[in-house]
Chains A and B, each alone.
Chain A
């Protein structure tokens, strides 16, 4: 039977992970670490923390950890009003530089939402999209272009709210239990198999999509992340957070609010 990690276990595990994966896991929100590691213990059937620690150090479980730890988005076009803003406000403001960056992409839904908006605007061939993903398995899944049909009604309902000219079926074909995205939409997507503190895109970015990622950080790590992204991105670059996230008070002079209701910022 699987066990859950204690407070001391969590401290030891996050320290080991930070060393191994070169990302500060000790500054994720503690309650999130407790929930997420409990889920990982259960999923990977971990019976002893000592064994788990050894497997982290040898690298045996790091790919599994990178797959299960981050929270995957489960809706295409979550918050449709944001995607409308992207289409009607951000895209017209970008000019010729249509380079997008997902510093911490977890699942297909967020990426495919962007690809569909770009295709609707006939911009697919001009755009370049960079995605940092730590899990090799996630990258392979994303390359296959599949999303589960489990939430298909939610996907379609969100899509309808966008009021696009195209139909949902214009972008996907059904294949058993999956909807498969038109592979032509993926032509300019580049995957970076590392975290965004260690690896960044090799060209100037115009818009960074970082929605609902800092929810899982504590205040210290959020501040560090904002400062780091500010350094990486040039003046005027768009940075999008989740609708219930805000730039921390400490860094509010580094970013300017572009759209209050959708939490879209621009780098100052």
Chain B
């Protein structure tokens, strides 16, 4: 496990439901301002509300938070938030591609889609983190990250408002770490 943290990552990919906003805010407000990896976040959100979430995260975050356009490059030290009503995929050339394909797991954006594509593109050179949430979206994607030897972190269900999402992942594989929000922040700051 220690070996994993020594390799260079291409991205940190995080997923959670709408209720994970406070956890994501906490992590981004305590992350080192010189954090060098890109952070890609897929959070369930209201379909028809285009603004508010990214502005809210910008207020808290030590890193710039971007709601990316299609085909935008992923760069280190920036946070990329999946736009409302679009799925967000990570391509092999480290660009973002968006899609209006069918709703998946009752969600668009779907966390599974983001994790699956990131796992395919980055394989062992990514960290996948699943946070608190009220449905199973993200569990299959996190399993794919695990299968492709990415580093996996599940928010400790004991620290979650709703445990469905982390528990669904725990039923599919054993993660590298089970951490509280503060533990996740400390881990990221140690990279």
Q: Which residues of A contact B (CB under 8 A)?
A: 29-32, 35, 71, 73-74, 78-81, 154, 157-158, 161, 212, 214-216, 219, 222, 242-246, 248
Contacts and interface: CB of A to CB of B under 8 A. Distances in A.
Contacts of B102: 71, 74
A246 B69 CA distance: 7
Contacts of B99: 32, 71, 215-216
Nearest to A73: B100
A259 B83 CA distance: 19
Closest 9 CB pairs of A and B: A212-B100, A246-B69, A215-B70, A244-B98, A245-B70, A71-B101, A244-B83, A244-B69, A215-B98
A64 B69 CA distance: 31
Nearest to B71: A219
The number of chain B residues touching the other chain, given as a range, is: 20 to 34
A140 B188 CA distance: 54
Contacts of B68: 244
26 contacts: A29-B91, A29-B97, A30-B92, A31-B92, A31-B97, A31-B117, A31-B120, A35-B101, A71-B100, A71-B102, A78-B85, A79-B85, A157-B48, A161-B48, A215-B70, A215-B98, A215-B99, A215-B100, A222-B71, A242-B70, A244-B67, A244-B70, A244-B98, A245-B69, A246-B70, A248-B71
A243 B92 contact: no
B81 to A, nearest CB: 12
A5 B117 CA distance: 16
Given A30-B92, A79-B50, A245-B69, 18 more contacts: A29-B91, A31-B97, A31-B120, A32-B99, A71-B102, A74-B102, A74-B103, A78-B85, A78-B100, A79-B85, A215-B98, A215-B99, A215-B100, A242-B100, A244-B69, A244-B70, A244-B86, A246-B69
Contact of B50 (A74, A219, A243): A243
Contacts of A243: 50
A244 B101 CA distance: 14
A63 B66 CA distance: 40
Contacts of B117: 31
Contacts of B91: 29-31
A80 B70 CA distance: 20
A48 B92 CA distance: 27
B116 to A, nearest CB: 9
A191 to B, nearest CB: 22
A208 to B, nearest CB: 18
Contacts of A30: 91-92
Interface of B: 47-48, 50, 67-71, 83, 85-86, 89, 91-92, 97-103, 117, 120
Contact of B48 (A31, A71, A80): A80
Nearest to B90: A31
B69 A32 contact: no
Contacts of B83: 244
Contacts of A73: 100
Contacts of A81: 50
Nearest to B91: A31
Contacts of B67: 244
Nearest to A246: B69
B168 to A, nearest CB: 22
A29 B120 CA distance: 15
A31 B122 CA distance: 14
Contacts of A248: 71
A158 B86 CA distance: 16
Contact of A214 (B70, B86, B92): B70
A216 B98 CA distance: 8
Nearest to A158: B48
Nearest to B99: A215
A144 B50 CA distance: 33
A32 B97 contact: yes
B91 to A, nearest CB: 6
A242 B83 CA distance: 12
Contacts of A161: 48
A216 B97 CA distance: 8
Nearest to B121: A31
B118 to A, nearest CB: 11
